[in-house]
Amino acid sequence: MKKALVTGAAGFIGSHVVQELLKENVEVKALIRPGEDMTNLKGLNVEMMEGDILDLSAVKKAMQGVDTLFHLAAIYAIWMKDWSQIYEVNMQGTQNVLWTALKSGVGRVVYTSSIAALGIAPGRELSNEETPFNQYTLNHHYIITKYLSQQTALGFAGNGLDLVVVNPCFPFGANDITPTPTGQIIKDILEGKNFFYFNGGLNIVDVRDVARGHVLAAKHGRTGEKYILGNANVTMKEFMQMVYKAAGKESGFLLPVPVFVSKGFAHAFRWLSDNYTRRVPVTTPPEVDYARQYLFFDASKAQRELGLKPTPIEESLKASVEYFRSRQKGVS
């Protein structure tokens, strides 16, 4: 691996992948969406190129001279005024990038999927890379597009492209400028805005481990295989308590919220966004339906085959707390 193209390089995970590649002395070309916030790449020795993955000519130009591709560019959204864009970018954009990689002779591709593209085992059982996808009825556009684009990527792997899939769990850490759903929970707790939880769980992981997993997948991953990049399985209540502890605060009063209450508010939030504010709501019914499951995953395959060694969660949470405290107003 001498020169790598990273799509979505300015994003949360993408910027950490860039940093990890630079540590390996890999030359990096970053494909940046026109007008995108470049904060996460500031000061890094990277070849910048503006281009949209829906623009095939821009994709072809970006692919020139690289031997490895990390395809992370995608839209994550719980609500949009026009959902067509998420399908175009996550599905057609992926096809553009992978067809170009196949035709240009790129040596290795790491495709960034998500645990959202995997099936969920019943109850608190651990899901893995082979758990059949079973989230169709959620009507969650992001989840559907990630699953279908992942299947497209695996189809390319079955037809000659040396491609490996990675499925990050819920990452947190520095550079979370949006922030991600996990980062938003941390930020809200630090700001004293969130005292509520509902039944459900998630697999949390340091974003630096996710980035390291990408590089290890490029080196050691088996063509056509999926690798879950995760660490600790915790309930929502446990996660919030861990954040309080990392912040040096008392655990405080945490109030459980019944699912029907969460769904009721979610319907109201979405109705307001659809009909009045035209802004992203706090949550939506499909988001509540997904999050109230126990999204517990077995990440041992990546540890066993790639050699990924997760950072202790307590250490990661402290680093994330310090990031939000240093960069956000109103965070204590």
Residue 48 dihedral angles phi and psi, to the nearest 5°: -90, 140
Query: Of 176-185, 208-217, 245-254, 322-331, which range is least confident?
Result: 322-331
* Mean pLDDT to the nearest integer, 244-253: 82
189-230 pLDDT, tens digit per residue, is: 888 887 888 899 999 999 999 999 999 999 999 999 999 999
Q: How much is the pTM?
A: 0.96
What DSSP assignment string belongs to 176-196? --S--HHHHHHHHHHTT---E
Total domains, the chain: 1
For residue 323, is it within any domain?
A: no
Looking up residue 31, the CATH number of its domain turns out to be: 3.40.50.720
- Side-chain-side CA neighbours of 140 within 13 Å: the count stands at 23
The pLDDT of 144-170, averaged and rounded, is 98
Beta bridge partners of 202: 234
216: containing domain? 3-173+204-234+296-311
57-79 per-position pLDDT tens digit: 999 999 999 999 999 999 999 99
pLDDT at 329 over 90: no
**Do residues 32 and 49 make contact, with C-beta atoms less than 8 angstroms apart?**
yes
Residue 297 to residue 299: CA distance in whole angstroms: 6
pLDDT band at 250 (very low <50, low <70, confident <90, very high): confident
Least-confidence region, from 15-19, 148-152, 318-322: 318-322
Instruction: Please check whether residue 55 lies inside any domain of the structure.
Output: yes
Please state the rounded mean pLDDT for residues 10-15.
96
Percentage of the chain beyond pLDDT 90 is 88
C-alpha 327/C-alpha 319 separation (Å) is 13
Residue 197 lies in a domain: no
Q: Look at residue 198 and tell me if it is in a domain.
A: no
In a domain? residue 267: no
pLDDT mean over 178-194: 88
**Residue 310 host element (H or E):** none
163 belongs to a structural domain: yes
Q: What pLDDT is attached to residue 252? A: 67
Q: Is residue 111 part of a domain?
A: yes
Q: Which helix (H) or strand (E) holds 68?
A: strand 68-71
Q: What would the mean pLDDT of 101-122 be, rounded to a whole number?
A: 97
Tell me what the mean pLDDT of segment 81-92 comes to: 96
As a whole number of Å, the end-to-end CA separation of the chain is 42
Is 243 a member of any domain? no
Tell me, what's the pLDDT at 186?
A: 92
Identify the residue whose tokens are 């495709």: 111
Q: Once rounded to an integer, what is the mean pLDDT over residues 321-325?
A: 93
Maximal CA-CA distance, the chain? 57
Residues 6+ away with beta carbon under 8 Å from 258: 198
What rounded mean pLDDT belongs to the chain?
A: 94
The whole-number average pLDDT for the span 257-264 is 92
